[in-house]
Amino acid sequence: MSNAVVKKADSAAMRHAIFRLEDFIKSVPGNGIDESGIQHIHHFAPGVYAREMIVPADVLMTGAVHKTEHISIFLEGRIIVPDGQGGSKEIEGPIVEIAKPGIKRVGWTLEQVRWITIHPTEETDVELIEEQIVTNDPVEADCIARKFLLEGEGEVEYDEQAFIEHILETKS
């Protein structure tokens, strides 16, 4: 892995680095990928879908790229994430934000995490909702970001290796 100059934390370079990280992890024999400990709970109200995710401690997690603006609620837990300045930072719930489309996230859970995203939809079939609201395709992710994100407000360093090393140090 190498340093990449990125524009804000949501830039194409950051997304591509996370996609490469996912590809690398999947390519390692015996990588231990096991989503059985991750719970997904689906909530519905008229015109609204909420996806709750409960992730145990000590998990490297990546997210899909959302296609639309939505409410993101980091309800509880602690996680290490890239800080957009070349390093990483620890965040702790609760945090409520309006999440912009095109962002791909990565983090290492330090303790159990509960995260909820809320989306407008009349659909109630979870597979169809996921097709509507997220993508894991890098090309589609770039198109979404170009359409919705302002990528040009300064450059920062994102050091993939330093982020991984920070995670490993934290685990020790």
**CATH number for the domain harbouring residue 35:** 2.60.120.10
CA angle 34, 24, 1 (to 5 degrees): 135
- pLDDT for 112 equals 94
- pLDDT tens string for the chain (172 positions)? 333 333 344 466 667 677 777 777 767 665 555 566 789 999 999 999 999 999 999 888 888 888 888 999 999 999 988 776 777 889 999 999 998 888 888 888 999 999 999 999 999 999 999 999 898 887 777 777 777 654 434 333 334 455 555 556 655 5
- pLDDT for 166 equals 56
| Length of the chain (residues) | 172
Sorted by sequence, the CB contacts under 8 Å of residue 68 that are 6+ apart come out as: 101, 119, 133
- pLDDT for 33 equals 54
Count of domains forming the chain = 1
Query: What whole-number distance in Å separates Cα of residue 114 and Cα of residue 75?
Result: 5
Burial of 86 (0-12, 13-18, 19+ CB in 10 A): middle
What's the domain range around 23?
3-171
- What are the E-state strand segments in 86-155? 88-92, 95-99, 106-109, 113-120, 134-135
Element housing 168 (H / E):
helix 160-171
